[in-house]
Structure 1
Amino acid sequence: MTQKQKVTSQKEAIFNNEVVSRFELYNSLFLTLPFYKVKDTGTLLPLFIKYCEDGVKQHQTPAEIITAFFEKYTQASSATDVNDLLFRFIQYIERQVVLFDAVEDASFQKLNTAEDQGSLSSLLRKSAFNTELHDRTAKLIEDFSLRLVLTAHPTQFYPGSVLSIITDLTTAIKTNDIDSINQLLQQLGKTPFFNKKSPTPVDEALSLTWYLENVFYFAAANIQSEIDSALEEIQIPSKKVIEMGFWPGGDRDGNPNVQAKDTREVTRMLRQVLFRCYYRDFRKLKRRITFRGVEEKIHQIQDVLYKNAFDPAIEPKDISAELAAGLQDIKDTLLEFHDGLFADLVDDLLRKVALYGSYFASLDIRQDSRVLRDVHAWCRQHKPILSLFPENYDELSEEEKIGHLSFKSAKIHHGEDTAPLISDTLDTITDIRTIQQQNGPLACHRFIISNCQQASDILQLIELFLWNGWTVEDLDIDFVPLFETVHDLKDAPAIMETLYKHPFYQEHLARRGNQQQIMLGFSDSTKDGGYLMANWSIFNAKVALTTVSEQHNVKLAFFDGRGGPPSRGGGKTHRFYASMGKEIANNHLQLTIQGQTISSQYGSIDSAGFNISQLVNAGISSGLREKHNILLDPEHKDVLDQMADDSFESFVALRQHPLFLTYLERYSPLSLLSKITISSRPVKRSSGEKLRLEDLRAISFVTAWGQLKQNVPGFYGIGTALKNQEDAGNWDQITRTYQESGYFKTIIDNCMMSMSKSDFSITAHFAKDPEFGAFWTMLHEEYERSKAMLLKLAGHQTLMENYPVEKRSIAVREKIVLPLVLIQHYALEKLQEEATASTAAYEKLAIRTVYGIVNAGRNSA
């Protein structure tokens, strides 16, 4: 047995003993708790689970399974009684998912050892005795950064009360504190999971600040401390590496309900929460530093922190420099007169002030280019802008439009009768300046243009800033184009070439350190072109954009819009960054952390620290290697080009199938997602009644397939592409590509993860449906084809064979939520046949199943 096999075997044993066995133990306790109105539910639930498993194996319909169970084990005599017990099952299962999460998180450190990621210190220490490597490391660190951007998506829905219970439950499980576990399980059973009303954008922001305050504030500082120590050891100057970003309250394209007042309120909230953290830390520091010579300074700082944390009437301003100077004075006194006693506590707070300033996390503003074009057109109709543009400006070519842009400062006034989107855009542009003055320049310095299709989209936005109180000299804003669809990704290099050549934009970049940030979207590109084409298009776009940026001496930073599942850019994310070659700008890693990925990968200080370290290690190791990416060699690139085209054709043919959306609406809760009270954002972009695929948000699209346990966006087309290569006699080449390319291997591994969370046996009875049977069979055949080809390519017997612990975790989770999936199908089927009087009850039943299924997936939406 190899060392790797031994480690894997040890981990499997740990998982079974520490996670599975303890979950079964605590779950048996949980099932016997005397909750109100749930007498006998805990006794019946295991029987129901077994009935569901057996029924699925026999390809029975959900209605057949549920009806037979109730006839055999209950006295339920009406639909109301049946629905009532099913609803109680759902409530139990939701909490079983939480319990399993807590048990798994409690074993995190045992399951994720330093060998999994390699110590950051050891990685950097390698350069201590190699002058050339030392110089390269110093240069890399000077340029390197990691930005994690928290986004509000309708799959992160636990309120702070439940998150606190989960945290305490995890702590109790670590020490097997049965009494505390028993009490916390009772508290969990009686605590509401969801609000009766949908949250506002500010409510969503407040929910996410729980993670900033309780997790990232500590985890990011811990990793930065490790980096500081490692760099000091090898005599390389330290620098701020980790940055935090934030979207709730700023992302208008993702949530059209966001308004300027929300943006202002969120930035105030972020600031106040941060100073609450500072104040909490400073009180601990004050209890230790009780020496002479620092009393006055400590009193001054405590007073400042208290007012900024708790006084709503205080006039906010950026005091980070003042705060750092005061803390440094205290540290100097400790070093000079008190042998440096407790100077480490001051260092810790100094480090946090350097990381978070007066803003905590940078708030990004995002809006669709079509909205911004409308705002620009509205402004052109008003003095003093009116005379600068011809009446037919919108009909001009791109080159002619750019030629009319003059970038002159002006002030546009708008009144109460102005259209809401126009007012919001202009107000927000004005407010950004105020936010920067109050919280610091980094508090809000990026404006992201969604659906960016031409250089004028960026240049016109700059004009909007200049027409609303900004001057060229104080334009401390990064304008970030977002390219998402397969078509837009192909056009992106030409758009950036136009920008880089534009004299005004060149001057703007020079003032911003000659750095350009570009966002690439994984979600819509997958919805547009399928899994393989999306990943391959983004890879090629990164290569081309890096090339054009280097030609113009521009330092490029990619900002990846990644969701939770592989079909939205998730999965083994750090492996993507570690596999980058020197042809792709990789010094600045920026990515969104979305949905339940926030709680699953960054829900505790331990897990957040581990995953942040993995990303930092991936970026640094990739930068130090600077190896050529073999996917750019003709023999590899040509075959990936052909595979991507084949996969794209297969996926587009599926999308164009007349039953595609109808099937999704009929058998998934897609049409009900808008009624879920966990988000303030709509399911689709247009307000029309008829659902169109182009209007459907990617997260809703992926969620719907995930609820069906078919995960089509995560694999469809890849089996056909691989089979075509095999039939063409190119299998040996594909195998070499898989073995030699870390990037391609990660794509394949993540695809296997998507497929591991699929279970077509649940819907096998669809095959007999006279309307949708052939369509289901087509999906199932591509799944089986993809599974067979992926296993052959990897040389495995089962999916995720090289990730046995994760594979086991997925299997347990899928077993827990199987009844939810069947209850959902049962409710949806009843909605098709029942009279309107029963509609509300079945809708409620179907909607409630969504939460547990999503959360059990950990990265399923």
Structure 2
Amino acid sequence: MQNEAKTERFRQIVENKFQIYNSLFMSLPYDKMTNIGMLLPFLYEESRIGYEKGLSPEEIVEEFFGKHTDLVSEEQKTELLFKIIQYIERQVVLFDSIEDAAFPQLHSVNEAGTLSHLHDRAVQEHQLEETREKMQDFAVKVVFTAHPTQFYPNSVQRILHDLRSAIMKDSVTEIDMLLQQLGKTPFLNREKPTPLDEAMSIIFYLRYVYYDSIGELYSSIKNTFGNQHFVPPQDIFQLGFWPGGDRDGNPFVTAEITKQVAQELYTSILKSYYAHLKNLRRRLSFRGVSEVLETLSHELYEAIFRDQNISAVQILKRLKEAEKILKEQHNGLFKNLLEDFQDRVKIFGTHFATLDIRQDSRIHQQVIDEIIVKKAGFTSENISTKEKLKWLLETDVVLDPNDFEGITKDTLENIFNIKKIQQRNGERGLSRYIISNSDEVKDVLNVFGMFRLCGYREEDINIDIVPLFETMEGLDAGEKVMKELYELPIYRKHLERRGNSQTIMLGFSDGTKDGGYLKANWEIYETKEQLTKISNENNIKVIFFDGRGGPPARGGGKTHDFYASQGKTIANNKIELTIQGQTITSVFGNKDQAKYNFEQLLTAGIENDVFKNSKKDLTEKERKLIQELAEISFKKYSDLKAHPMFVPYLQEMSTLEYYGRTNIGSRPSKRGGTNELKFEDLRAIPFVGSWSQLKQNVPGFFGFGFALNELKNQGRFDEVHALYKGSDFFKTLVLNSMMSMNKSYFPLTYYMKNNAKFGGFWNILFDEYQLSKSMMLELTGFKMLMEEDPLSRKSVKIREKIVLPLLSIQQYALMKIQKKEGNIEAYEKLVMRSLFGNINASRNSA
């Protein structure tokens, strides 16, 4: 009944509103877009009916031109298609805004996963003290990354922000004006954004969403769980930041850029404090207090605009002075407002979000090799890895970056700058160095050694060194690498100085690309168990940092369910994950959503330890079964990867080649500088995104259905059914995979099954989709995919309807390119332009 009520509510406040405002939008007079509003429904109908009949996108689009327009020339036709794309892009923004505005009305403050629900449950089950105890030593950290999965330029994001507010007020006049602005605002970046541009785009959210949402959320925790004996720690919610620090595969992130981004973060939080203080002074206008706050306001101004330094300690000292006068002379009036400001300073310091450095281990090795040849007198041929490490960890040489060039110079400059950044932004401003593609002990020690080479005394290396295990090999090596590191005296001493705490990052995206959906998820689960065990044995508090993304194929999906399903064999000291692109706007894009999703993460982590649930812990029998399914699916996926048509199919039939040409991110879409495309060089985002654009979502299900069917053929499906019923972890994997399949639409590419080169390969994909869908429906007892989540299903359905004409245009253009027909340049531009709307419309994959 509750689901039915929610669905009806969604129909009223999302679907109906979209129909109303969309009709308003379709009648607006845009430059060069006259009549598009009338033509678009025809293209949708031609697409819907055409795909049901098995027509190709080319036949559908040509039929649309023939029946509904009198256009003859290729130039006129492509011009119309460009206008339709522009139109649909704006429809997507409109739907985003309406759905976001409806969020508070669709989610109750008492539903599962909220703080209120956690408190009620803790009281009922007499676990309130245990809940407070867990809060004392637990945190949630969301790390914003610059990965390009969001195509809205900043100007459009700001319209989206304003449009959402106007829709919440139902202000038709304001909505009308904003829709007109939207119609005339370009959706394209003229040039690729720089890493600094990407950083500024996310800093917008820090200032206008997270400063308030996290501040208010902390206040809620304090009011709900706090008492005279317990004040929740102010770092229970934390923000991390990769733009400007993540140089893995991005030659545009330099030491100078990192310094600039750190400065912007510092200035931005001070601006937020300055604005907050302005409001506070309107209430605290009392003698003595107002003078102290005025002095603070002046000090903040000097730090923002006159390059004067101010620390969080100095700000808090002023606020303490004000608090003392307020209590002693003014009966503590409005004391709660002053406390709220103090809490925010403790939460955000002078860093706002913690900047991370990330680089690939192979780049570090290049740098070390160059240094050793130049400074140690060795040649690269006559020195072993062991000898390199010995020199690195024992030498007294202190390097000057100016003695080097290129990447070596920049790497060293960056390490030198960390000290300066920590002095201004505080130690929380930059406190860790992440190493991509870690699979050996040397990968971690190389970084430790580079700090020594830059003149840091070992006791002054105030940085956590974080290995990132992401490939199948890396995950397999994780336990051995960490065991060796924990037993190494020089590294063990470093960990003692860091509070005997070790952060380890695990990458879902590359794991899935490498091993397939089921194998990657199970491999990461097992790796976490092994790393938990080895860390506990060495008295190290391990923190797992998950490189998770939007769609299930990148570790996304239902994040709360994922974390709530991890049993006691996995360390649960902190929930830490990456978010990027459309996940930022769709899951954490406004105050209501951000608060809700931060709450969901926090309660998932706390419930996991405080409330017992046998479905979280896997029995030996359940483990063996998941292992067996994972191996069968891995074999199936590996065979697909090894198929000679795998990379050519993506290269020739998908949008993969076009990701790198769009001006959406500063980072190249593949590693390596060669023109030849190799599977291992493919970045996870364009890889997963290209399957998504084809509406095939292969990385989110391939091999899963095959594995389920294998056990069914052995007469063991009852075992799998018992596993689904008994294990929250396995159930979450199944439901997230179904989400991937629900967003697949194979009729779009039916035409490929007869392709001389790729027909056989397409049929392999389609057969596995059909099999996976039928097996999962049988396993869950559902009549349709995502049956248990009607709101997401409805949202997906509307979005898929909006973008169906866009998909037809994209495939039509790809078919023209494949046949080398007509103006290839124009068709390539059509493919690139249609990428934007498709990705933005897929935001609810998160």
Q: TM-score range by the shorter chain?
A: over 0.9
Q: What pairs with 1:73-222 in structure 2 (closer than 5 Å)? A: 73-124=68-119, 133-222=127-216
CA contact (8 A) 2:615 2:728 kept: no
Aligned residue runs from structure 1 range 14-413, under 5 A:
14-124=9-119, 133-233=127-227, 235-240=229-234, 241-309=236-304, 311=305, 313-317=306-310, 319-383=311-375, 386=376, 394-396=383-385, 406-413=393-400
1:512-591 equivalent positions in 2, closer than 5 A: 512-591=498-577
Give the aligned residue type for 2:694: L
User: CA–CA distance in 1 between the matches of 2:749 and 2:105?
Assistant: 37
- The equivalent residue for 1:679 is 665
For 2:737 and 2:22, locate their aligned partners in 1 and report how far apart those are by CA, in whole Å: 32
Distance 1:69 1:135, change over 3 A: closer
Query: What is the RMSD of the two structures over their aligned residues, measured on CA atoms?
Result: 1.8
Distance 1:545 1:136, change over 3 A: same
2:799 to 805, 813, 817: 813
Given residue 71 of structure 1, which amino acid in structure 2 is its aligned partner?
A: G
Q: Give the SS at the match of 1:557.
A: strand
Question: What displacement does 1:239 show?
Answer: 0.6
Aligned residues of 1:715 and 1:754 also touching (Cα < 8 A): yes
Question: How do 1:500-515 residues align onto structure 2 when only pairs under 5 Å count?
Answer: 500-515=486-501
- Deviation at 1:402? 5.2
Q: Per-residue CA shift, 1:348-379, capped at 9, x if unaligned?
A: 21111111100100000001111111212222
The CA deviation at 1:768 is 1.7
Q: Secondary structure at the match of 1:801?
A: coil
For residue 845 of structure 1, what is the aligned residue in structure 2? 830
Report the CA distance shift for 1:765/1:391 in structure 2 as closer, same or farther (over 3 A). closer
1:718 aligns with 2:712: no
1:783-822 residue pairs with structure 2 within 5 A?
783-822=769-808
Query: After superposition, what is the alpha-carbon deviation per residue over 1:442-462, rounded to whole angstroms, capped at 9, x for unaligned?
Result: 101110011111112111210
CA separation in 1, counterparts of 2:225 and 2:597?
A: 20
Task: State whether structure 2 residue 409 is matched by structure 1 residue 414.
Answer: no
For 2:405 and 2:379, the matched residues in 1 are separated by 23
Residue 737 (structure 1) shift: 1.1
In the alignment, the residues of structure 2 paired with residue 72 and residue 127 of structure 1 have an alpha-carbon distance, to the nearest angstrom, of 64
Specify the SS of the correspondent of 2:402. coil
Q: Which stretch of the first structure deviates more once superposed, 27-36 or 621-630? A: 621-630
Distance 1:29 1:368 in 2: 50
Shift of 1:732: 1.3
Report deviation, 1:122. Answer: 4.8
In structure 2, give the amino acid aligned to 1:260. A
Shift of 1:257: 1.9
**1-structure distance, mates of 2:604, 2:576:** 13
Check 1:507–1:643 CA distance in 2 against 1; reply closer, same or farther (3 A cut).
same
Which of 426, 430, 433 matches 1:440? 426
Kindly indicate whether the alpha-carbon contact (under 8 Å) linking 1:630 and 1:636 is maintained by their aligned counterparts in 2.
no
Q: 1:836-861 CA deviation, whole Å, 9 max, x = no partner?
A: x7222111111000000001000559
Runs of 4+ in structure 1 deviating by more than 6 angstroms, as ranges, are: 128-131
What's 1:759 paired with?
A: 745
Q: Work out whether residues 439 and 473 of structure 2, in 8 Å CA contact, stay in contact via their aligned partners in 1.
A: no
Deviations 1:53-94 (A, max 9, x none): 111111111111111111111121211100111111000100
Aligned length: 845
| Distance in 1 between residues matched to 2:327 and 2:785, nearest whole Å | 57
Query: Distance in 1 between the 2:161 and 2:757 partners?
Result: 48
How far 1:134 sits from its partner (Å)?
4.8
Deviation of 1:633 after TM superposition, in Å, equals: 2.1
- Separation (CA, whole Å) in 1 of partners of 2:233 and 2:278: 27
Change (3 A) 1:96 1:780: same
* Matched-pair contact (CA < 8 Å) for 2:565–2:616: no
- CA distance in structure 2 between the partners assigned to 1:659 and 1:390 by the alignment: 42
8 Å contact kept, 1:570–1:859: no
CA contact (8 A) 1:249 1:263 kept: yes
Q: Which moved more, 1:552-561 or 1:766-775?
A: 766-775
Structure 2 counterpart SS, 1:278? helix
Q: 1:846 to 1:415 in 2, by over 3 A?
A: same
Tell me, in whole angstroms, the C-alpha distance in 2 between the residues paired with 1:586 and 1:256.
Answer: 35
Stretch deviating more after TM superposition (13-22 or 825-834): 825-834
Deviation at 1:474, TM superposition (A): 1.2
TM-aligned CA distance change 1:394 to 1:657, over 3 Å: farther
Q: Does 1:709 align with 2:701?
A: no
SS in 2 for 1:596: helix
CA deviation map 1:735-767 (0-9, x unaligned): 111111111111111000000100001111211
User: Per the alignment, do residues 127 and 30 of structure 1 end up closer, same or farther by CA in structure 2, a change over 3 Å counting?
Assistant: closer
How far, CA to CA, are the matches of 2:613 and 2:283 in structure 1? 50
Q: C-alpha separation between the residues in 1 aligned to 2:839 and 2:396? A: 49
Does the CA-based 8 Å contact 1:707-1:850 persist in structure 2? yes
Deviation per residue, 1:167-209 (Å, 9 max, x gap): 2211221222111111111111111122111111111111111
Deviations 1:592-630 (Å, cap 9, x if unpaired)?
A: 011210000011100011000000110111121365676
Amino acid at match of 2:298: D
1:45 and 1:481, CA in 2 relative to 1: closer, same or farther beyond 3 A? same
Over 3 Å counting, the alpha-carbon distance change for 1:509 and 1:124 in structure 2 is farther
Runs (5+) with no aligned partner, structure 2:
none
CA 119–187 in structure 1, closer or farther in 2 if over 3 Å, else same? same
Residues 495, 501 of structure 2: 8 Å contact kept? yes
Unaligned stretches of 5+ in structure 1? 1-5
Counterpart-to-counterpart distance in 1, 2:49 and 2:74 = 23
The Cα of 1:436 is off from its aligned counterpart by: 0.2
